[in-house]
Amino acid sequence: MLIRKVKPEEKEKFNQVVNHPLQSWEWGDFKERIGMKAVRLGVYDQGELVEGFQILTREIPKLGYRVGQLLKSSLPSKEVITALRDLSQEEKIVYLLIEPDYIVRRWINKKGTIKQPPAVDEPVDLAELGLQEAKKKLFATYTFLLDLQQSEEEIMKNMHRKTRYNVRLAERKGVKVYEKTDEEGLEIFIKLLLKTMRRQGFYMHDENYFKQLWKTLSPKKMIHILMAEYEGDVLAAWLLLTYQDRIFYPYGASLSKHRDVMASNLICWEAIKLGKSLGCRQFDMWGSLGPKPDKNDDWYGFHRFKRGYGGDLVEFTGSWDLVVNPLLYQGVQTANKLRWQWLRLKSKLPL
């Protein structure tokens, strides 16, 4: 087995061996458009590329060092961790945040009820590979995964009764959901998202982020934009990602008006149908709370909404740091904490 940097001419082969849009070559190109650097390591068996790991880094201003992240890759082996440590020394990376797309627990979801105990329980301790639990995570440890190999009738039957009722209500009320995957659709989505962020007081990404995302991923047909319209108003818009045999729901926006017509319920159902039409086998709803959620949590409403569609609740390995420079690591963590405090405050300021 050999582990080395992947060459540009190996791009298509790299894309074939990774399984998440955040590990795709195009995602790395997108991140480079907004100021990061992409480095790709490949695992080779008898000369054949069999596994890929895309590392994204950004520079720490004025220090000459970098911080990095390895997000939604396969589970790294001991040999890969060694290669990542060597790469970090070479690239002057203080630490790598590692969040594998690897499931350790799965709970069956029947009609919106999470069955206990987990049907799959195979924990992985990455501390054994020299990693430590991350000070801050980027992605939720849990999400809902819906099996799209079921028929539409089976999926509808396994929804929570209230979710199923809301989908039908939106249809009866005359909500129309359609795909608008073009630059005009992107502009509508961005404007709606900015309104949503101001209303709900959270920080996501700026307009340039989504425009660069569009420029990089849309030529590969990795983006789909859905709109839910009612009486001439777009009430909700979702930007979905597709990769290999999966569809993902990372970004959504909505208006506060006409909530009684349940536009978001219908747009989710149409996203499910879109995924099936594209041949996707799984719908990843991109984050949730755990099996015993706190109803007072700010994200409980999103969790309950997603749970209603009947996808299994899964837990990933979590967030881990590969620390290469312990002294600078502590300084970076303090700076990150202050940065996020500022971003949260900024999101609540009047524009």
User: For residue 172, what is the enclosing H or E element?
Assistant: helix 161-173
List per-residue pLDDT tens for the chain, 351 residues long: 999 999 999 999 999 999 999 999 999 999 999 999 999 999 999 999 999 999 999 999 888 999 999 999 999 999 999 999 999 999 999 999 999 999 999 999 999 999 999 999 999 999 999 999 998 899 999 999 999 999 999 999 999 999 999 999 999 999 999 999 999 999 999 999 988 887 777 667 889 999 999 999 999 999 999 999 999 999 999 999 999 999 999 999 999 899 999 999 999 999 999 999 999 999 999 999 999 999 999 999 999 999 999 999 999 999 999 999 999 998 888 777 766 565 556 555 554
Instruction: Verify that 152 and 273 share a domain, yes or no.
Output: yes
Instruction: Verify that 306 and 323 share a domain, yes or no.
Output: no
Instruction: Verify that 97 and 156 share a domain, yes or no.
Output: no
Instruction: Verify that 212 and 339 share a domain, yes or no.
Output: no
Please provide residue 132's backbone torsions phi and psi, each rounded to the nearest 5 degrees. -125, 155
Please provide residue 95's backbone torsions phi and psi, each rounded to the nearest 5 degrees. -160, 160
Query: 263 burial class (0-12, 13-18, 19+ CB within 10 angstroms)?
Result: buried
Instruction: Verify that 231 and 329 share a domain, yes or no.
Output: no
The answer to the question of residue 86 being in a domain is yes
- What is the pLDDT, as a whole number, of residue 197? 82
The answer to the question of residue 334 being in a domain is yes
Give the C-alpha separation, 147 to 162, whole Å: 20
Instruction: Verify that 78 and 157 share a domain, yes or no.
Output: no
The answer to the question of residue 139 being in a domain is no
Residues whose CB falls within 8 Å of the CB of residue 38, separated by 6 or more in sequence, listed in order: 28, 29, 31, 32, 54, 55, 56
The count of C-alpha atoms lying within 13 angstroms of the C-alpha of 92, restricted to the half-sphere facing its C-beta, is 7
| Rounded (5°) CA angle 336-342-343 | 90
The beta-carbon contacts of 55-60 under 8 Å, at least 24 apart in sequence, are 55/84, 55/87, 55/96, 56/28, 56/31, 57/91, 57/93, 60/94, 60/328, 60/332
Q: What is the pLDDT of residues 193-230, one digit of tens each?
A: 988 887 777 667 889 999 999 999 999 999 999 999 99
- What is the pLDDT, as a whole number, of residue 307? 98
Q: Identify any residues that bridge with 5 across adjacent strands, giving them in sequence order.
A: 41
Instruction: Verify that 19 and 83 share a domain, yes or no.
Output: yes
Burial 74-87 (b: 16+ CB within 10 A, else e): bbbeeebbebbbeb
Instruction: Verify that 264 and 335 share a domain, yes or no.
Output: no
First to last CA, the chain: 55
Strands, E assignment, 176-260: 176-179, 223-230, 233-243, 246-254
The number of distinct structural domains making up the chain is 2
Instruction: Verify that 222 and 340 share a domain, yes or no.
Output: no
Instruction: Verify that 163 and 290 share a domain, yes or no.
Output: yes
Domain interval for residue 309 = 145-315
The answer to the question of residue 118 being in a domain is no
- What is the pLDDT, as a whole number, of residue 334? 77
- What is the pLDDT, as a whole number, of residue 199? 77
> What's the CATH number where 72 sits?
3.40.630.30
Q: What is the pLDDT of residues 279-297, one digit of tens each?
A: 999 999 999 999 999 999 9
Instruction: Verify that 176 and 309 share a domain, yes or no.
Output: yes
Instruction: Verify that 160 and 307 share a domain, yes or no.
Output: yes
- What is the pLDDT, as a whole number, of residue 135? 87
Structure tokens at 233: 């108003």
Q: Is the N-terminal amide bond of 100 cis, ω within 30° of 0?
A: no
